[in-house]
Structure 1
């Protein structure tokens, strides 16, 4: 159990009714903008008073001395983020007595998840519901409004706005059609994105939209709707010079006769993202007279407190109380800023009607009204162990009742488990599971025990076909321990399978209020259905198993695998479910009733062990055996230069393939490494040589490139396209793709030799796979030639485009500032290859 910080574990916020005692315990525009990812106090210490009835009342979060909110990011029971999962660009609306949170579904490529809405009566106990309308593969920055008895839902696809109408806040939605409501540049030169509606006191309805608002003094576009909500009475724009610093995410608010245009500034991918505002007293579409607000920016990152990338907000008004709903990056700041989470904090106005700075907190606001689940979480703060964990996604995070933290197993594995110890035997009537991707289907087995020896089934969901959050299982038992095993899940686009749990909760009873909400919003079964079994195939260096990777399988199905050695290799052994079946060339599973694994090892016929030539000409080299023993990588030491290191970007981890270390690079995480700092001077060279041991893993994102080794963005780059395994080279801005492709899961030694005259050859396992006779000389590498960036030397991704990241594992890497001779190149590749098959022991290059 983690230590509780300050009052963080005991704080609760109530609007109406008593809080349960148990809870108290407890900018030039780039040409490809349409394909870019979405948009970048001293207060006294106060304990919250519990409202014991009457009108809703709101208390400010407790603040520590120095003005910092008291709750640490990993404190048990924090209310920020508001919901578990990756959800960005939030719009929060209250219709009747119910709150509806509409967001972009993040953490899946460039916000490419299915449309959904979160529903709650108290802003703490939520239900996730998938919508029937998913107009595009990217549905960004939704907004919903009510008018004339109907509801209108808006989604943005870069760069246009689509609309639908419905009879309830969740639909079913009837789209206007396949054409956008607002096409791009509908109001020139404004780019159409981030639409938000606004209804004035006279009933007039407007919509605002923009991104990259500083280009051509664009500012924000606006439309005034006709009563049909499908056509417009007028349109126009508020220019950029009137709205100082506007980038995207416009939001109009009216208070005391004044119009507040609020908006996001800077880059949504990093800590510079912030919220600002300007005021006008004339009207919501005035093109002059906007006064830049005081206290700007009113919402900003607080990096030391792990609050990063705050922006793209909306505002909820409850009588005279205002709350800012915004997103910020997850605690790990993973995937290049594309795993964002939704938070809410109080927003105040001063006596001059200026907006005060909003303090972003981990503690959040908490309950709006009476708690809809009166039973305390018995698993809150319980001890947790797990089958594995990736990096710092620790097991204990699954029991901390905190939506900022989660347990995650080693990447790609299924049949991973967590075990929760509540400390004593207790009556349990219901459990709630909140999986990492709430809008995806998870299949799992939930067991319970009083003694950790005799396990019984609480719920068998190994054939589950419904997504949901929470996933609720009911049974009346006495238990101390629970074990959750994730047996399969609906693959996540651009990510694959990843076992993870935000929160496990156990309750002694079922509150009819929350239970009614959960039962009302039940998702339909997945179509087509998800098979309950898995068959996983992999191979060591020197060959392949086909088909490879992890595949869904139905009971009683048959599966045949072919094992093939590369030229110069022979099959050494095939391992099935942990047992050797010999050096066979094929293997079959017949009428399976369980999941299975098959793995092949190969033996090299090449007896040469090679060596590392000309170490004085190395730019740098790093060896896999120097990776740390744990999962997390604080740095990767270089062999040359001595004492140097590669710094991790995002969250690369250490994995082992057939017992050998590799650095695991996940494209969705935007992970990788940087060598040294940003360069401002040219790198003199006499040609160049790159050699790297890699294992490629497929994922479906189709980016412009997926970098393995990258120098100055596109000055010199060796990479593998993630979606098809094709090897490519970029040299001085020119790109060439080979006809050779790595199989999914294949290990290879890739290399590139560039001569001083600019001609080059690329190799896989010492076999030439492509060449160029370009005459563009390679006597120096010039930084910053592409848009002013491109000043870094990276491994696993390019710079600054984190969404163009290699997906797989990287072993030994050597970069030379010279063109190795054919003999030297072969010698080095032999050395790296010999280590992969165990002929050369680790540390031989030291």
Structure 2
């Protein structure tokens, strides 16, 4: 691991710490998502770490004990308060946040205060290749080390402060050793599909108290391993007139040369009932625009909660909309993909169904899948049924994905399924409690193989770490 000393570049700052530099606004920049360690610019070999839940700077080397190297390793994830900024998640699942301007490590409680305190916006650092991080909710303050402690302090135009607040993002002291989660950060309800030679992943942004997130994001990959983050593709607040809260469970389908995003949304105040909308884009990476200016499925129009839309297109070109919590419904969509005949809506709720329907077809058999129990429960799980028609009737086939406490995996569910475009290879994407410190609002996305027996039955999925 390369450790570059830059003492010569900042020597003047230490000889004359009050030396004023020309006042300048630091330029925004981007940093790579994923595991990293943060090295001090002006104290080569010292790294951001947590000790007794407080952030500080300490020397770390390859011979340091495993606990110290782990404490100096973080996953850079999209910011909890803004996907255009960043948050730092420790190996133990907790996040760096500031409280009373002191930086410490705490468990995400999903509150707006915590998410803002744990979000930092990247700017160009004082030395080439370095980065400084401004507080999201106190933008005039920057993350800096002072007497080997981490604080957010008001920015100063001194060489010393700018060096203290600049960091190199280095290779992590503890590398990620598991295939899952596939994307860094807190996400749930993943919809995985294939378009234009790439896989696209559309999840719910997680980590909000009451699941009150407002924006949808997109990720893409050529191999289901290395992922590109495309940022927000639809923000309910400015982008949807009838919803500004509870951006849940997106699903995207290609049709008519365009891409249609089906989503759940509610209002942050007043009537909290959820409704289903549809947005459209010319690109699978967005941005998407609300297609109707009103819900596609209004709250109260049918029993059950109007959430978790999913669209399946059959081989004859007919597209079907499935949705609902507590009760499952299906209806053929009209050719415009933004309307349907209400007289054709059919209730098809299977035994054990709670939410998150998904439909696919293989070898002439239609597979209806869903999640059982509550997403806050470690017993959240996936079951399925089969039919010779996308609208049923269906024969229940049982549970194929559930918890594995031996691996620390709890609550695996709300899934989607995709087939490789070049073979009969299938994958299942789902969320689970984040390992090791997750819960029903701190979840992460996993992908595993989906396999079939000779008679077409889905084999039980063994969730992988």
Scaled by the length of structure 2, the TM-score of the pair is 0.57
**Deviation for aligned residue 1:304:** 2.3
Matched residue SS, 1:279:
strand
Specify the alignment match of 1:297 in structure 2.
399
- Which residue of structure 2 aligns with residue 175 of structure 1? 290
**Which of 344, 358, 366 is the aligned partner of 2:461?**
358
Q: Structure 1: give runs of 5+ residues left out of the alignment.
A: 4-73, 214-219, 363-846
Q: Residue 412 of structure 2 contacts residue 433 of structure 2 at CA under 8 Å; is this kept in 1?
A: yes
How far residue 171 of structure 1 moved from its aligned partner, in angstroms, is 2.2
Contact 1:274 1:310 in 2 (8 A): yes
Aligned partner of 1:160 among 248, 259, 275: 275
Say yes or no: does 1:105 pair with 2:205. yes
Corresponding pairs, count: 277
1:348 is aligned to 451
Describe the SS at the equivalent of 2:215.
Answer: coil
Residue 304 of structure 1 aligns to a residue whose secondary structure is helix
Structure 2 residue aligned with 1:252, among 339, 350, 359? 359
What's the C-alpha RMSD, in Å, of the aligned pairs? Answer: 1.9
Greater relative contact order (Cα 8 A, min sep 6): structure 1 or 2? 2
* Contact 1:190/1:221 (8 A) holds in 2: no
CA distance in 2, matches of 1:236, 1:263: 19
Query: CA 1:227–1:333 in 2, change beyond 3 Å: closer, same or farther?
Result: same
CA distance in structure 1 between the partners assigned to 2:329 and 2:187 by the alignment: 25
- What do the CA deviations read for 1:143-174 (whole angstroms, capped 9, x no partner)? 11101111111111252111111111122322
- Where in structure 2 are there 5+ consecutive unaligned residues? 1-64, 68-173, 237-243, 267-273
C-alpha separation in 2, matches of 1:238 and 1:201: 23
1:300-322 alpha-carbon deviations (Å, 9 max, x no partner): 00112100110000001112011
Specify which of 272, 288, 297 is matched with residue 379 of structure 2. Answer: 272
Shift of 1:223: 2.0
Pairing 1:315–2:417 present: yes
User: Paired residue for 1:238, among 330, 336, 347?
Assistant: 347
For residues 487-507 of structure 1, the C-alpha deviation after alignment (integer angstroms, 9 at most, x for no partner) is xxxxxxxxxxxxxxxxxxxxx
User: What's the offset of the Cα at 1:117?
Assistant: 0.8
Match of 1:339 in 2: 442
- Alignment of 1:210 onto 2:319: no
Whether the aligned pair in 1 keeps the contact of 2:372 and 2:380 (CA below 8 Å) is yes
- Give the TM-score normalised by structure 1: 0.32
Rounded to whole Å, the distance in 1 between the matches of 2:382 and 2:233 is: 32
Question: Residues 48-197 of structure 1: matches in 2 within 5 Å?
Answer: 76-111=176-211, 112-135=213-236, 136-158=244-266, 159-186=274-301, 188-197=302-311
| Structure 1 pair 150–361 and aligned structure 2 pair: CA distance change class (3 A) | same
The 1-side partners of 2:326 and 2:284 are apart by 30
Asked if the contact 2:298/2:306 (under 8 Å) is kept, the reply is yes
Deviation, 1:114, is: 2.6
Q: For the Cα contact (< 8 Å) 2:373–2:379, is it kept in 1?
A: yes
User: Is 1:328 the counterpart of 2:437 in the alignment?
Assistant: no
1:358-383: per-residue Cα shift (whole Å, max 9, x none)?
01001xxxxxxxxxxxxxxxxxxxxx
- Provide the C-alpha distance between the structure 1 equivalents of 2:220 and 2:455, rounded to a whole number of angstroms: 35
Residues 104, 140 of structure 1: 8 Å contact kept: yes
Measure, in 2, the Cα distance between the counterparts of 1:132 and 1:76: 28
Distance 2:206 2:264 in 1: 14
Aligned equivalents of 2:209 and 2:295: distance in 1? 23
Residues 160 and 183, structure 1, Cα contact 8 Å, conserved in 2:
yes
Offset, 1:251: 0.2
Q: Secondary structure at the match of 2:406?
A: helix
* Alignment match, 2:391: 285
**Are the aligned partners of 2:214 and 2:235 in contact in 1 as well (CA < 8 Å)?**
no
Which secondary structure state, in structure 2, belongs to the residue aligned with residue 267 of structure 1? coil
CA distance in 2, matches of 1:131, 1:177: 20
Alpha-carbon contact 1:308-1:333 (below 8 Å) kept: no
CA–CA distance in structure 2, aligned partners of residues 157 and 174 of structure 1: 14
User: How far is 1:132 from its partner?
Assistant: 4.5
Aligned residue for 1:298, secondary structure, equals strand
Say which one has the larger Rg: 1
CA–CA distance in 1 between the matches of 2:401 and 2:251?
21
Distance in 2 between residues matched to 1:83 and 1:210, nearest whole Å: 27
SS of alignment partner, residue 312 of structure 2: strand
Q: Deviations over 1:381-404 (max 9, x none)?
A: xxxxxxxxxxxxxxxxxxxxxxxx
| Rounded Cα–Cα distance in structure 2 between residues aligned with 1:113 and 1:308 | 25
Q: Secondary structure at the match of 2:259?
A: strand
| Change over 3 Å in CA distance of 1:299–1:132 after alignment to 2 | closer
